[in-house]
Amino acid sequence: GDVEDEMTVSVLLDGEESTIEFHDVTDNQELLKTLSVDAYVIVFSVNNPSTFQIAKDNLNKIRNELKINKTIILVANKIDLVRKRAVPANDARKLADTHCCKYIETSVALNHQVDELLVGILRQIRLSRNKKSPQVNPGSHPKPKVKRSGALGLLDRLFSRKAKSGSTCDNLYDV
């Protein structure tokens, strides 16, 4: 519909608490163009190839048509459905690499990698805002604390598990 879904989440990272505000613009392409955002989180279900195609289309729209050069995190959700997986992890990683995105795999149903995703989103936003500032102790990433407030329904449509590191698209803690 015309009314967007929104949710806020508080994340404590490196001793500093931030509130991340999510806007679901799935059905509102006009809002995608006009909304002032720090990052995009594009989610697809690994058991549904049509959602992966929509993710591809949205990535193409953001990067190539709208020429937006903000942080984008591609999220493969429902990885708990191993036997029903229809979108290979390598395909998703290639898509993320092609569009200079980060990539993470999650399972909201199992609450797997959800906190890591939230912290990764916040770290990517902070890194993009402070590109000229040197990072203090880049090898150290303390376990962040995450507080969630608001409806988990939007979160359920968003997130879950981190992929094995290999390419830079998998590392949500570095540029």
Residues forming beta bridges with residue 7, ordered by sequence position: 22
Q: 5-131+139-164: which CATH topology? A: Rossmann fold (3.40.50)
Per-run averaged pLDDT (10 residues), the chain, 175 residues: 68 90 72 74 96 94 87 95 96 96 93 91 89 51 44 41 49 70
**Tens-digit pLDDT profile for residues 20-43:** 888 877 666 666 666 678 899 999
pLDDT of residue 96: 96
Q: What is the pLDDT of residue 68?
A: 84
In sequence order, the β-bridge partners of residue 17 are: 12
Dihedral Cα 101, 94, 159, 26, nearest 10 deg:
70
The pLDDT, as a whole number, for residue 54 is: 93
C-alpha Rg value of the chain to the nearest Å:
15
Exposed (0-12), middle (13-18) or buried (19+): which is 149, by Cβ within 10 Å?
Answer: exposed
**pLDDT score at 148:** 43
